[in-house]
Amino acid sequence: MRRCVGVLMLCSILLVLGPTAKAANVSSSFTGAVNSNWSNAGNWSAGLPEGTGTATIGDSNIVFLDTSQACGPVLLNSGVAGNAVLNITNGSNLTLGKAGSSEIFGLSRVAGGTGTVNHSAGTVLVNNGDGLAEVRLVNVAGATGTYNLSGTGILDTEVLSKGNSSRNGVWNATGGTLVVRNMIYRFGLQSAGYGFNQGDCTLEVGAINSVATLNVGNSTNATDYTVDAGGTIALDIASDTSFDKILQIGNVANTLGASLQIGLLGAYNPLQGTTFDVWTFTDLSKAGSGAFASITAGWAASWVDTNADSSTDTLRLTYTAPEPATLVLLGLGLLAIRRNKK
């Protein structure tokens, strides 16, 4: 998880050292009057969106984020049915947040419209300080929203939401890193066309260098969650009782072929044999399955049945590495044996 910190710090530095905002709040719509670059003020109806202002992209516009930017919400297809596309491909960063707003990054907000984000480099940070800032793929029925994360792109958001159950939103992750600080919300079955598809991507649970609970799904929309081969789940552990958790609200979870990365925070060193239930279904009759392709050295992981109903409802980690004190004693013992042989 710590590997994202440098990128986020760079993003913050760029924002601090960048030009002073000309206004506290500028909302603007992309017109594409000059070219497809976000940074060209001539492409926007009221100049560059700034402060807590809203950037609206619609009417079949294709936009390239060519420099690091910061503003309030970004809304694609917010009034005209079309095919709005935002490409984040060259390492530039986008920082979004507006107090009191939940839909900070909305991909499609008009019936018949489609909104697509192609994010292959740079960091998108979505945070309004209350834990509920959303990347919402679809806002209305009859629309389609797709977020494609790949390459070295990093999406750091409080909430990743498909939108209501009748709406067609698709999350595709073939690379990069997804940091979700609160929940993955309202993703339906992949077979229905609006799934959460995680390929060769790292899912970082909870806040960076902290611990939190990631909620997958909700009580009214069953979620199947599959981490494909090559995918990675990263969890941090701060103490025996404080560690990242995934709360599964849905049908099944399959982690076959995925990698599991476990990081210890601060000076915490668990005792050998200590267990951590890191992935649990709210309905303990549901089940998870799949052996991990790799796991951090010194750890073991298995799906277990916690209520004796034959359903593997919890992913349990067990610390298998010897304690530091044990290693010291072992070393002293070997040294003593070596001396006796002399």
Contact 288, 303 (CB under 8 A): yes
Residue 186 has pLDDT above 60, yes or no: yes
pLDDT score at 10: 39
124 vs 213, which has greater pLDDT?
Answer: 124
* Residue extents of the structural domains in the chain: 3-341
Region 244-271 average pLDDT: 81
68 vs 142, which has greater pLDDT?
Answer: 68
User: Hey, is 121 helix, strand or coil?
Assistant: coil
Cα–Cα distance for residue pair 54/51, rounded to 1 Å: 9
pLDDT score at 180: 78
Residue 35 has pLDDT above 70, yes or no: yes
Q: What percent of the chain has pLDDT over 90?
A: 35
Please, which residues bridge with residue 240 across strands? Answer: none
- Amino acid type, 275: T
CA nearest to 91, candidates 73, 65, 114, 109: 65
pLDDT score at 339: 57
pLDDT score at 257: 76
Cα–Cα distance for residue pair 327/129, rounded to 1 Å: 44
36 vs 6, which has greater pLDDT?
Answer: 36
Strands 83-88 and 168-173: unpaired
226 vs 235, which has greater pLDDT?
Answer: 235
Taking the model in full, what pTM does it have?
0.72
pLDDT score at 230: 65
Structural tokens at position 136 = 């919402």
CA nearest to 105, candidates 82, 84, 81: 84
Residue 149 has pLDDT above 80, yes or no: yes
CA nearest to 94, candidates 113, 66, 75: 66
Residue 55 has pLDDT above 90, yes or no: yes
Rounded to the nearest integer, the mean pLDDT of the chain is: 78
Region 123-133 average pLDDT: 89
Residue 130 has pLDDT above 60, yes or no: yes
pLDDT score at 276: 95
Region 302-319 average pLDDT: 91
Candidate from 18-27, 52-61, 139-148 with smallest mean pLDDT: 18-27
Residue 296 has pLDDT above 90, yes or no: yes
Please, which pLDDT band fits residue 209 given cuts at 50, 70 and 90? very low
- Element holding 156 (H helix, E strand): strand 154-161
pLDDT score at 333: 53
pLDDT score at 187: 59
